[in-house]
Amino acid sequence: MRDNPVTFEMVLEQLDGLNIISMAAIPMISLVILEWVLSYYKKKDYYDGMDTLAATVIGLINVAQSAALKVLTFGVILFFYNLVPWSVPNAWWSFPLCIIALDFCRYWAHRVAHENRFWWATHVTHHNSEKYNWSVSFRLGWTQHIKIIFFVPVALMGFHPVTFFICHQIEVLYQFWIHTEYIRKLPRPIEYIFTTPSHHRVHHARNKKYLDKNYGSTFIIWDRIFGTFQPEEEQADYGITKPVNSYNPITLNFHEWVDIVKDIRKSRSLSEAWAMLFTSPAKLEEVKAAYQEQYDTAAKASQKTPQPVTPETKENKLEVPEEVEA
């Protein structure tokens, strides 16, 4: 139990100098260059210069956004943390517990981002590359920051905001190393518990058997528990089922939002508009076809319905002359 609320200034003071992602930036960029050079030397088609440039621009703008939105994201977590009267002690063991809690929330946030079109629009940028390398980890959508709401339960559990943000950075940083073709399958205990490059290659693939699988962020056990696990078998074909065919960072970030707006504007009912916004991306074409069939059926039915007879229609009818007797 705690008596006094934690303030924004207190959190900033404790987090000062603890930006783990910033500290890891140079090593990550160095590893991307190393992997790129190695791929060129070995004649592996793992990199595309324009694709990597687009990923770098997207990543840099995302970092700038994170800095600009720091007050908002910190504020959300602080607000909900201060709502509850209990707290998890700030001990060493609170960090692994917080990572587990965060990872559980990340699993569901990630799954919803694939199974709901609105949230998919915030995440599709990470998947619309047809390459798979360490630079792909930089491709984080510019609208993905709204997913902070999925982590509110961790704040409500009573984990201190400083613990939360340190663990959150560790979780984000973990994603870097799993985006590579060079690390194949690891020893079985690691593959069983943790998300590995093998698992994540499946997740980035558009092969039919691999679609919407392996959502785990740090731990793959959530996929095993909730039935979304798929081991790596055939070679992955990377990208999304409807390719964007663009290197423009703006297009890569907003093409799905544009498609959503177009589909909503073409909708002929509120229920169809709702479906265009929130249906599963995997079922989108099926849902569109179902609505079109519904409208076609209604149109045919209205054409077959006899028109009511009114005095006006009687007058307009052609009179058939009676036969003249011979």
CA triplet 88, 90, 96: central angle to 5 degrees? 80
Question: pLDDT exceeding 70 applies to what percent of the chain?
Answer: 89
> What is the rounded CA–CA span in Å between residue 220 and residue 107?
9
> What is the rounded CA–CA span in Å between residue 199 and residue 216?
9
Average confidence score pLDDT of the chain: 91
Q: What are phi and psi of 205, to 5 degrees?
A: -85, 155
Bigger pLDDT: 67 or 222?
Answer: 222
Predicted pLDDT of residue 7: 77
What digits encode the pLDDT tens for the residues 265-319? 999 999 999 999 999 999 999 999 999 999 989 888 888 755 565 555 555 554 5
pLDDT above 50: residue 138: yes
pTM as predicted = 0.88
Report, as an integer, the average pLDDT of 61-72: 89
pLDDT above 60: residue 204: yes
